[in-house]
Structure 1
Amino acid sequence: MHITGVKTERGIMDISSAGKTRILINLGSALLGRALQDVISANPSFETFVATDSRSSHVFDPHHIVVDVHALAKDPQSHWPNAKMILIDTGLPEDELISLLLHHKFYGVISTDTPPEMFSKALHTVSKGQIWIDNDKIKALLHNQPSHLKPAGRANLSKKEQDIVAFIAQGLKNKEIAQRLCISEQTVKTHISRIFKKVDVVSRSQLVPLALKLRI
């Protein structure tokens, strides 16, 4: 077992700092992992770990796992099933990124060129149960989806419901969606409930790949 760079003065076994969000950085490159740790650790509300051995899973229980495509091959979600997984996009082709979104349960996608302050905002957003995908990335994905992903199911959703799915995929909260559509927050909740039933999902995170499938 080997863990590097735990940000605490009391050693690696002290992993229960009250009020802090524990983040496991599990990347294919240890060098990139430590560099990312320096960025995240600048925010005192985060406690970071760089994992270099999956056996470290029994030592701590992270809230979030930050992974790249190389780390996915080790199936980190099986080691930390309760953690929310965030993908670092290192410049993946759009087809490959869409495939990853459809086959893994990500709560966020963050580009490597994201400014540090936006990185912190993304982590806080995910901590609140919301979805974070860089705006430029989600717009590119939604408008340039490969043809092999058929827009099945679009006919089952009204135009307003499709708009709501797109807004959820961009990480907007119900109140923000209501403001965009000039409707009440309760009406948004009603629409979301209907969407869940129509497309047979149970969480907002599942609507991100749906938005890609529908090419909204």
Structure 2
Amino acid sequence: MIRLMLVDDHAVLRDGLRNILGMEDDIEVVGEAISGDDALQKIGIIKPDIIVMDINMPNKNGVEVTGIIKKQYPNIKVLVLTMHSHDEFFMSAIREGADGYLLKDAPSDQVVAAIRTVAKGESVIHPSMTKKLLSFHQQKQTETENSSLTEREKEVLLCLVEGLSNKEIAQRLFISDKTVKIHVSKIFKKLNVKSRSQVVIYAVQNQLVPMPPGS
């Protein structure tokens, strides 16, 4: 059973999510909070597996709270569910350790699926947010000391961040689908990730993708 906590200052949103999740046999809403401070006071008592977190809230916002939670309770997963599609909120939330980022216009079945995905230790990012990362890419790629990726693997990584399929990557880089699969497999292994969403998160957290000013 996935123990879930809802953190949002809008009662209608909490009620709606609680009703939707109440129909799922493997998910249980064990607590709610209406602000950042309220959440931090309750987390230690409720001890949820996953927190569905809004960004705009009284007191501390969802990004700040996510950072605190990840430091104090690293095993608790945080899925940000927000109306904000702004780059700075997305990048900041990921850098603070959010395990997923969805927009509130996502269908209810997508939210439920995202909760299950995050519960398994994988990551979820709204498709439109993944594409935004490409706009931060410049001609010169940011290097990191702990990256052992080859130049070709870095090219493939940027394609993954853009959200391209293996076939589209092959066409862009003028290589075969089989070669793309080999590069993707090596990237996953070197970065110790299991999914494309985790690749994107790793790229943001380790600045393999240039950050927007002020983030």
TM-score normalised by the chain length of structure 2: 0.64
Picking from 142, 155, 172, the partner of 1:152 is 142
Match of 2:47 in 1: 61
Q: Residue 142 of structure 1 aligns with which residue?
A: 133
Distance in 2, Cα, partners of 1:146 & 1:193: 23
Which of 97, 122, 127 is matched with 2:114 structurally? 122
The one-letter amino acid paired with 1:64 is I
Which string of whole-angstrom CA distances, capped at 9 and with x for unpartnered residues, describes residues 161-187 of structure 1?
5425764896x9xxxxxxx94369887
**Residues paired across the two proteins, number:** 180
Aligned partner letter, 1:90: M
Q: CA deviation at 1:144?
A: 2.3
How far 1:34 sits from its partner (Å)? 2.7
* SS class of match (2:48): coil
Equivalent residue for 2:91, pick from 70, 95, 98: 98
Q: 2:156 aligns with which of 159, 163, 186?
A: 163
Alignment partner, residue 47 of structure 1? 28
1:182 correspondence with 2:175: no
Q: Deviations over 1:56-114 (max 9, x none)?
A: 33433211111122334443445543211111131242233223322x11111111011
Maintained 8 Å contact 2:49/2:76: yes
* Structure 2 residue 85 is the aligned partner of structure 1 residue 82: no
**TM-score w.r.t. structure 1 length?**
0.64
- State the shift of 1:24 in Å: 1.1
Q: What is the deviation of 1:203? A: 5.3
Q: Deviations over 1:41-61 (max 9, x none)?
A: 332211113423333334332
